[in-house]
Amino acid sequence: MNPYSQSRFLLARWSIYAILVAVYMLAFFHRMAPAVISSDLMKAFSTSGAALGSLAAMYFYIYTAMQIPAGVLADTLGARVTVTAGSLIAGCGSIIFGLAGTFAGASVGRALVGLGVSVVFVGLFKSNSVWFSERNFGMISGLTVLLGNVGAMASAGPLAVVLKSYSWRSVFMALGGITLLLALLTALFVRNRPEDMGFPSMRQMEGKTSHSSSNHSWWDDLKSVVGTRSAWPGLWVGLGMVGSMLAFVGLWAIPFLRDVHGLARSAASAYTTSALAGFAVGSMLGGWFSDRIGRRKPIILGGTLLYATACVGLAYLPWNPGPIGIVQFAVLGLSSGGFIVIFANAKEVVAPALSGMAVGLVNTGLFFGAAVMQPLFGWAMDFSWNGRIENGLRVYAPSDYHTGFLIMLAFSVIAVAGASRIKETNCRNITIES
């Protein structure tokens, strides 16, 4: 084993992790921010519910299409190149979104943001897979999503406060500048694997043989991952559970609380913050507990069942704003946090060298679900809308939102079905160890 400084290794590992997580936090912010600025966007571009849903979902359309390519890039070029390039594109997109004078211009900016950040999650998880021990992958995955959700929570209550003093355009232009700075830091300090800085691999540090690299073309590797049947159930879990949760909390929750319960934006954002906090805590606990018990499937299946129950409650329970409503939203997010284990499961059913592609495949489901759900929810409400407009905004009735909740419930059933088909790996890579 090569001699190395433990303190220098830890400094390098956590510095790389901190930079990539900072980019990931901004990606989460962009993902959820349309919920808070929905009324501003409707006024600025005179949009319908379906059009607003399409604008918000533009991020998810591009993000979804890029997940498998992001996996290929992560496995071939590594996190350093892919995240640097992605951050440059996302930073420019955020600035264009803030400057947009037309709906088309805003859509272009939103699409560029989605394109840029689409490689961040897979690149970060690929980095985690080589800079952290396999036995702690679930826990570090949970920590990663928890920190990402700090960015999401900043797009709720804190953003609502900032918007009292600054325009939404100024906020997104400033975010673009920060993202460009992080692109520079990624290029300067991030390295793809410990060996690139003269350290032994994580497995060598643990007295094990390093995983071999792939000897095939990226196309053959991709076909191998896509052809692995046990990699697909996680995609359906993400599509049905996280996709619908992100679509609702990231766009329609605040309009729902405004139209049905009469809450102002700042008050309504407390509920979405509660959901995102629950999502963050659920991700951390789910990853940690999965590593602790040495099982993947019980965490995933339990999360989907609890999420389906929360969707039933959202659609049918006679809850009102206050503690009960806050708890309802928190449970919606907490249950969704169990999704984090699908990524550990995905990398454990394919060859280690292909972990980026496996994570990209599974992650496609999350964002395809959100991309479909956001405009579908808006379309369902537009279909039954009675034509009421106040202060230039469409006002939807409780029955309109109820239709959207039924669609969420249907998505949750898809998640439960996917979870029931998850292959248990007992927290080890089943392709190389008996």
- pLDDT tens readout for residues 264-314: 877 888 898 899 889 888 988 998 899 889 999 999 999 999 999 999 998
Answer whether residue 229 is part of any domain.
yes
Binned at pLDDT 50, 70 and 90, residue 263 comes out as confident
> Coil, strand, or helix at residue 389?
strand
315 in a structural domain: yes
* Six-digit token string for 22: 């900072």
Ordered DSSP codes for 246-286: HHIIIIIHHHHHHHHH---HHHHHHHHHHHHHHHHHHHHHH
Q: What is the CATH number of the domain that holds 392?
A: 1.20.1250.20
Domain, as residue range, for 361: 6-199+217-420
What pLDDT, in 10s, does the model give residues 179-191? 999 999 999 999 9
Q: Is residue 430 part of a domain?
A: no
Query: CB burial class (10 A; 0-12, 13-18, 19+) of residue 383?
Result: exposed
Average pLDDT over residues 139-163: 81
Global pTM reads: 0.74
The tokens describing 115, both together, are 């394109």
Other CB atoms closer than 10 Å to residue 27's CB: what's the count? 27
Residue 214: per-residue pLDDT? 60
Angstrom distance (rounded) from CA 285 to CA 299 = 10
Per residue in 365-383, pLDDT tens?
Answer: 988 898 888 888 888 888 8
What is the pLDDT at residue 415?
96
How confident is the model at residue 434, as a pLDDT?
42
Residue 308 has a pLDDT of: 96
**pLDDT the model gives residue 212:** 60
**Position 296 in a domain:** yes
How many C-beta atoms lie closer than 10 Å to residue 409's C-beta? 18
CB 370 within 8 Å of CB 57: yes
Q: How far is the C-alpha of 206 from the C-alpha of 200, rounded, in Å?
A: 10
Range of 28-32, 168-172, 416-420 with top mean pLDDT: 416-420
Inter-residue long-range contacts of 146-150, CB under 8 Å, 24+ positions, other chains counted: 146/280, 146/281, 146/283, 146/284, 147/21, 147/24, 147/25, 147/280, 148/21, 148/24, 148/25, 148/27, 148/28, 148/280, 149/28, 149/276, 149/277, 149/279, 149/280, 149/283, 150/25, 150/28, 150/280
pLDDT at 330 over 90: yes
- Most confident residue range from 50-54, 247-251, 413-417: 413-417
- Separation between Cα atoms, residue 131 and residue 201, nearest integer Å: 8
Direct distance between the N- and C-terminal alpha carbons of the chain, in angstroms, rounded to an integer: 25
Please give the share of the chain, as a percent, with pLDDT higher than 90: 34
pLDDT score for 209: 67
Joined tokens for residue 414: 């898809």
Cα separation, 380 vs 401, whole angstroms = 8
Looking at the 3D structure of the chain, how many domains does it have?
1
Q: What angle do CA 61, 64, 65 make, to 5 degrees?
A: 85
Contacts of 167 (CB under 8 A, 6+ apart): none
Distance of CA 406 to the CA centre of its chain: 23
Cα angle 59-63-67, degrees, rounded to a multiple of 5: 175
DSSP-assigned letters across all residues of 14-44? HHHHHHHHHHHHHHHHHHHGGGTTHHHHHHH
Q: Which amino acid is at 99?
A: L
What span, in angstroms and rounded, lies between the C-alpha atoms of 23 and 127? 13
Please check whether residue 429 lies inside any domain of the structure: no
Mean pLDDT of the chain: 86
Determine, yes or no, domain membership for 204. Answer: no
Domain membership of residue 115 (yes or no) is yes
% residues pLDDT > 70 (the chain)? 95
Q: Using an 8 Å Cβ cutoff, are 194 and 14 in contact? A: no
Burial string for 62-87 (b: 16+ CB within 10 Å, else e) reads: bbbbbbbbbbbbbbeebbbbbbbbbb
Q: Would the pLDDT of 15 be above 80?
A: yes
| DSSP-derived 3-state class of residue 390 | strand
| Highest mean pLDDT (candidates 95-99, 138-142, 355-359) | 95-99
pLDDT digits (tens, 9 = 90+) for 72-126: 898 889 999 999 999 999 999 999 998 988 888 988 998 899 899 899 988 998 8
Chain mean position to CA 206: 31
1 has pLDDT over 60: no
Of the candidates 281, 312, 287, the one whose C-alpha atom is nearest the C-alpha of residue 300 is 287
Q: Is residue 307 part of a domain?
A: yes
Using the predicted structure, report yes or no on whether residue 210 has a pLDDT greater than 80.
no
The pLDDT score that the predictor gives to residue 244 is 92
